[in-house]
Amino acid sequence: QSVLTQPPSVSGAPGQRVTVSCTGSSSNIGAGYDVHWYQQLPGTAPKLLIYENNNRPSGVPDRFSGSKSGTSASLAIAGLQAEDEADYYCQSYDSSLSGWVFGGGTKLTVL
Amino acid sequence: QVQLQESGPGLVKPSETLSLTCGVSGYYISSGYYWGWIRQPPGKGLEWIGSIFHSGSTYYNPSLNSRVTISEDTSKNQFSLKLRSVTAADTAVYYCARHRATYSSVDCWGQGTLVTVSS
């Protein structure tokens, strides 16, 4: 059981918009700690997609966006492309555990 | 361009110690940043193991704290992971990583190395 809860899978057709949720609690997201998102293509290391809730590193398309509210955060992917098919993970800090926590991951399928 | 590269045995026997090293190029670890380890069991999600600050201070995942030691060797520009008393549950791809602060994201990952615990 991951401390941060993500849906196991989401799917969408090319061109559509999908969202991935990340639900935490008052000791992590709800405590004000930032949420970060990673994309992991099959057989590769994760890649930073969104940092500090809603910031994109250089080189990440603006089709990817992040938001945070209360004890949850979301990753939105607009204009789905086949190359977006990957696993997506959220990450935050938990004060009761005194360390990082990750979501269980969400597999995105592009139909 | 900062690059991280894990190295170490791919097979460790149960009850023994898993030892991995992360070589860093393109940045001196003594210059700053945190340097950490994250693992991913086959087919599962990510788990943070622990991190070391360039000053040498460390912090670990409480669930692994009693078995983990992370250290640095600034003369070789590398940092290391030791995980004691391993079991099959420690079989995973181990990634080394760089992050800017305690609560920050990982901005640079190693490619990962699979460590299998088996007799």
Q: How many CB atoms lie within 10 A of CB B14?
A: 12
Proportion of chain B above pLDDT 90, given as a percent: 92
Question: pLDDT tens per residue, chain A (111 residues)?
Answer: 889 999 999 999 999 999 999 999 999 999 999 999 999 999 999 999 999 999 999 999 999 999 999 999 999 999 999 999 999 999 999 999 989 999 999 999 999
CB spacing of B104 vs A33 below 8 angstroms: no
Tens digit of each residue's pLDDT (9 = 90 or more) over B40-95: 999 999 999 999 997 889 999 999 999 999 999 999 999 999 999 999 999 999 99
Torsion region of A15: left, alpha or beta (phi above 0 gives left; psi -120 to 50 gives alpha): left
Interface check A41 vs B, CB under 8 A: no
Determine the Cα–Cα distance for residues A36 and B105; give it in Å rounded to an integer. 6
- Structure-block tokens of residue A81: 């492309």
* Shortest Cα–Cα distance, A81 to chain B (Å): 24
